[in-house]
Structure 1
Amino acid sequence: MAESTTESTGRNESEGGKLGSGPGRVLVWFYGVFTVAAASRSIVQMIQDFGKAPLAYVLSAVAAVVYGFITFSLVRGGERLRRTALVCCAAELVFVLTVGTWTLADKSAFPDATVWSDYGAGYLLIPVILPVLGMLWLRRNRAAA
C-alpha cells in the first residue's frame, strides 16, 4: 500500500499515530496525566509559597515540560520527534535517579517533595518506571516513526 504525503505537514499520513498507538496509547495517557499533575503541582506550590522550596518547585515544573514534550512527540510521531523523545526519556531517567538519590541522601536539601523525590514514591514509583518504558517503546518503534 502506497503512503501519501500531506502537503501541510510533509509527513506520511500513516506516520503520526504509530508511536501513540497500541501500547503507545498507554504511554501517551500516563505522560499526559503526569504533565497535568506535575504542572498543577508546581504552579500551586510556586503561587502558595515559592520561597519554601524553590528548587523542588522548579524541578516539578521542569518535569511537567519534559512530560509534555514526550506526550506531544508520542502523539505527533515522526522520526525526528521519536529521537528527541528518546533523548528526553533518557534525561528524565537521569533526573529521576539523581533527584531520587539526592532526596534520600540529604532530606534537608528538599524541604518539600518534587515529582521525582524518592524516585517518584509519591506517585507509586511511576516516574522512575515511565522513562524506561518510554525508551523501550521508542527504540522498538524506530522504523515505525
Structure 2
Amino acid sequence: MSPINVARIAHIVLFVKDPEASARWYAEILNMKITARAGDGPYKGGVFLSFGMSDHDIALFPAAADTAIGKEAKGREFEHIGLAMAGCDMEDLRANYAFFRERGVEIAEILDHGVSVGIYFYDPDGHMLEVFCQNVPLEGGASQAELNRNEGQANPITL
C-alpha cells in the first residue's frame, strides 16, 4: 500500500514571458496578492501569488528564451504541480521517498523552502510534481511572511 497521503492540490508554478506583468494581471483579474518575489538563485525573477490563505497558490517563473509559451507549448507550460500532504512530517517524507525509489520513480530534487519541504519527481510523461509537508502554518499569514522573508529561496536537502 502507498504511504502517499495527498490532502489537496496546493499550488501550480507556471512559466511565463514576463512574471511581473503576469503577476499584475493575476492581481487585477483574480484578486491575488503578491506574497513574495524571488531573489537570487534558481527562482530569480519569480513572483509568488496567493488567493489569501496559502503562502502561494500560483507562482510565475520566467520562461527560458527557447521555451515556447502558448498552445504550441503543450506539456512545457508549467514548471510543477504542488501536492500538499495530509498530516505530514519528515518521517512521512522519508517514507514517501523510499516508496518512490522502490518503484523507480525519477526524483528531480528535494528542497527545503522554509515554509515547506518537498520531493520533486516526474510522472511517466515527464511532468514534474511535488509532494510536500507544510512547515509553517497557513493561518494568520505566517507562511506568507516567511516566503517573503526568504525571497522564495530553497535549499537542496537529502532524506
TM-score of the two chains, using structure 2 as the length reference: 0.23
Q: TM-score, normalised by structure 1?
A: 0.24
**Greater per-residue helix proportion:** 1
Higher strand share: 2
Who wins on radius of gyration, i.e. which is larger?
1
